Amino acid sequence: MILVTGGAGFIGANFVLDWLATRDEPVLNLDKLTYAGNLENLASVQADERYVFVQGDIADTPLVMQLLDQHKPRAIVNFAAESHVDRSILGPEDFIQTNIVGTFRLLDAARKYWGGLSTNEQAAFRFLHVSTDEVYGSLSASDPAFTENHRYEPNSPYSASKAASDHLVRAYHHTYGLPVLTTNCSNNYGPHHFPEKLIPLMIVNALAGKPLPVYGNGMQVRDWLYVRDHCSAIRRVLDGGRLGEVYNVGGWNEKPNIDIVHTVCALLDELRPRSDGKSYREQVKFVADRPGHDQRYAIDASKMERELGWKPAETFATGIRKTVQWYLDNPGWVANVQSGAYSKWVQTNYTSRP
């Protein structure tokens, strides 16, 4: 069995679904079910005997130790994190508690559990920590893409908290010998993405006839990674990654945010045209930029290909079409995640911006 933390969130849920679709090994999913954790993401495996769900916090050491002792996983894959920059600007404390304190307590529980295993079990055990390219800071237009050796220069409370968690993972390997692996990924997109992030927000707002808020001039550049490609990369690292190593996972798809918005609009124009015959691009509204907004992220994923033979299967054109179609095909899921709390947050973050 493997233990997945944060497995009801966007990337974690896709990982659990893909894992159970490709492997027979059971999954224990520990998730706190905060606003972005959604068991509806995992409805298709709820009755699967290989799947066990426990609601709980990675910072709850007694619970984590109980689960480790009871289920004896051979690996922990840690997705549990607060992950939205805008939310970290409005309320950073949750990010400190989950991403730093929570990761520390999970690591320490894993260390104690691992220390009690047999020699062979210790050799087979893995702790894989899922992180972000945002820990590296921002690039200029001419800078080379981030490699695993790039200096950490986080610029938001979110990325600073993830950088701290990465350092803790590294320290537990070098100090205690815990067999860890770290992945730093670029911007994910795909099915089950909570609609506070750029792509699902544009889809949901467009269909609702609402403005499509774009920060600043929209020229912030990101590398885009289809979530199922990310999941396949994590499986590859878990299977064959070198202990203590960091692996950057990217989609080789650098694009300005405004291009992403226009692509989504064009697909919606094709797949779900407006009743008035006009383009969804007419709903684009430029709003005041995010404080300290990083200009460019870019991932050099050549180490993944060189050492582990991994590269993304999807181009951006194929991945974004699948993503838009999924949201069109799943209006019930979209409606259910747009709770009062979500609506209030959108109002706070976007509506008051000039």
Residues with a catalytic annotation lie at 133-134, 158
Q: Are 171 and 100 in contact (CB under 8 A)?
A: no
- Residue 312 burial (10 A CB sphere; 0-12, 13-18, 19+): buried
CA distance 155 to 177: 30
Q: Any idea which residue has 């893409």 for tokens?
A: 145
Contact partners, residue 307, CB within 8 Å, separation at least 6: 240, 241, 242, 247
Would you state the structure tokens that stand for residue 24, as one six-digit string?
């027979």
Q: What angle do CA 23, 24, 26 make, to 5 degrees?
A: 110
Return the DSSP state at 294. Answer: -
Q: What does the buried/exposed string (b/e) look like for 127-140 if buried means 16 or more CB atoms within 10 Å of the residue's CB?
A: bbbbbbbbbbbbbe
3-state SS class at 73: coil
Phi, psi of 195 (to 5 degrees): -80, 45
Residue type, 94: D
